[in-house]
Amino acid sequence: MSPADPAGDGSGHRVGYVVKMYPRFSETFVVNEILAREAAGADVEIFSLRPPVDPRFHATLADVSAPVTWIPHGGRKVADLWALLAEGRRRLPGFGQALPELLAVEADAGAQAVELALAVQERGVTHLHAHFASVATTVARLASVCTGVPYSFTAHAKDIFHADVDRADLTRKLTGAHHVVTVSDFNADHLRAICGEAATRRLHRVYNGIDLDAFTFAAPKRRAPTVVAVGRLVEKKGFDVLLHACAVLAGTGRAVACDVVGGGPLESDLRALARRLGLDEVVRFHGPLPQGEVRDLVATGSVLAAPCVVGEDGNRDGLPTVLLEAMALGTPCVATPITGIPEVVRHDDTGLLVPERDPGALAAAVARLLDDEPLRVRLASRARALVEEAFDGRRQASRLATLLAEPEPAGTDAPRARAMAALS
C-alpha cells in the first residue's frame, strides 16, 4: 500500500465501519462485506457501539483482519461526560458546528459520536461507513461533522420501513452523506419516494454479496422431502404461515419435514403453534446455528422457504441473505414478493413466488417442488447463474471501492463543510 492509497484497493482511504453491535450472529452480511473488501485490499477498522451479546459466533469471524473498537456505552458519570466534551472542543475542528446536534440526540449517542470522532482523528481514518440508517449512522454522521471526515451508510430494512422511522432525520442523513448504499431497487425507490430526489441524489443500489467459493453448487436431483427456513423468529419472517402450510401438507398424508433455524422473541409462540397444529413430528426447531451447520442443512433440503410478510409496524425484510446462499447451493426457493425479493427470486425462473400470508399457496408451491425434480433442477441452475452474475461478494466490494473513490458530491451539508475547511 502506498501513502496515497492507504486502503490498498484504489480508494485511497482507511475505512472505519460503524455498527450498532459487532459481531452479531444474525448479521452475516456485515462480515461478508468486510471480508470481501479486505480481500480486495481495503484497510478497515471496526467501531461497535454495543458489546456483543450473542453466545455463539460464526467461524468466518476469525478471517476478519480489521481491529475492533467497542465505543463505551452508557454508565458515564457527569464529570466524565464534561471531560469528554471539553476534549472534543479542544481537538475537533467541527465540534462547535456539531454541538447543537450533539446536545439534541440522546446523551449516549452524542458521547459516542465524540468518542468516535477522537478515535478517527487518532487513527487516521479517512472515511466512515455505517450499517443501518439508525443509531450507527447517527453517530457516524455526528463524528463526521466533528472531524470533517466524510461518511456513508447502508440502508437495509427496519431502518427505513418501520413505522417509527423519522423521515426528517433520515433525509438529513441522506443529504449529508458522501454516498448512500441500499440493498435493492425496491429500497431505493422507497427512499426516493419518502425523502425526495434532492436527498437521494447520492443513493446507489448495491446488492449484498456472498463468498461464492464457500457455497458449492449441487443440482437438487435426489433430496429428502425437507423444507428449510432460516431467520430470526420475528413477525416479518412469516414462519407462522410456513407452519400452517406444513399442516396443509401433512393433512394430505404427505411425508415432509421442516427445519426451522434461528432464535427470537416468537420462538415460544411458534413452538406452541406447531403443537396445536399437530406438527411435533414434522417441524424441528434448531435455534441459532453456526453458518457451516446452516449451510449443510440448506444444501440437503429440497426447498428453502422464505414466506416473508410486511409486519403490522411496517417492518419487513430487505433481501434475505439466506436466499442468496440457498440459490448458490442449488436449493430451490419459495418466497413472497416483498421488497427486493422478486429481484432475486424471479417466479418460475430462479424460484417460485407466492402471495404473502397464504398458507395454501405456499403449501402448493412446496408440493410442486417436492414432486417435480426437473423443475427443481431448472430453477436451481438458473438461480446459481443469477447469483454468480449479480451477487458475488467481489463485485460488491469493487462497487463499494468505486463509490468511495468518487469526489465529494456538491451540496455537502454546511456544518461538515466548515469542519472540512478547518482541516485544509
- Contact (CB, 8 A) for 422 and 121: no
Say how far apart CA 108 and CA 110 lie, in whole Å.
Answer: 5
Sheet arrangement for strand 257-261: 283-287, 257-261, 226-230, 303-306, 333-335, 352-353
Provide CB contacts within 8 A for 321, sequence distance 6+. Answer: 28, 29, 32, 208, 210
pLDDT of residue 106: 94
**pLDDT band at 421, cuts 50/70/90?**
low
Helix (H) or strand (E) holding 328: helix 321-329
**pLDDT band at 198, cuts 50/70/90?**
confident
- Contact (CB, 8 A) for 210 and 387: yes
Provide CB contacts within 8 A for 381, sequence distance 6+. Answer: 219, 330
Question: Residue 279 is placed in which grid cell?
Answer: 406438527
Say how far apart CA 114 and CA 96 lie, in whole Å.
Answer: 12
Domains of the chain and any CATH numbers:
14-208+394-423 (3.40.50.2000), 212-390 (3.40.50.2000)
Per-residue burial over 17-44, b if 16 or more Cβ lie within 10 Å, else e, is: bbbbbbbbbbbbbbbbbbbbbbebebbb
Question: Residue 378 is placed in which grid cell?
Answer: 431448472
Q: What is the pLDDT of residues 288-319, one digit of tens each?
A: 999 899 999 999 999 999 999 999 999 999 99
pLDDT of residue 325: 97
- Contact (CB, 8 A) for 282 and 299: no
Phi/psi for 336 (5° steps) reads -110, 155
What crossing angle do the helices spanning 107-123 and 78-91 adopt, rounded to 10°? Answer: 40
Q: What is the pLDDT of residues 96-135, one digit of tens each?
A: 999 999 999 999 999 999 999 999 999 999 999 999 999 9
Residue 363 pLDDT > 70: yes
Helix (H) or strand (E) holding 48: strand 43-50
Say how far apart CA 358 and CA 173 lie, in whole Å.
Answer: 37
CA-to-CA dists, residue 360 to 251, 274, 278, 282, 354, angstroms = 12, 17, 17, 17, 9
- In 3D space, the residue among 363, 318, 310 whose CA is nearest the CA of residue 341 turns out to be 318
Of the listed ranges 4-18, 218-232, 253-267, 302-316, the one predicted with least confidence: 4-18
Residue listed under C-alpha cell 473498537: 69
- Contact (CB, 8 A) for 18 and 140: yes
Longest CA–CA span in the chain (Å) reads: 74
Average pLDDT of every residue of the chain: 92
- Contact (CB, 8 A) for 181 and 155: yes
User: Span 247-269, mean pLDDT?
Assistant: 96
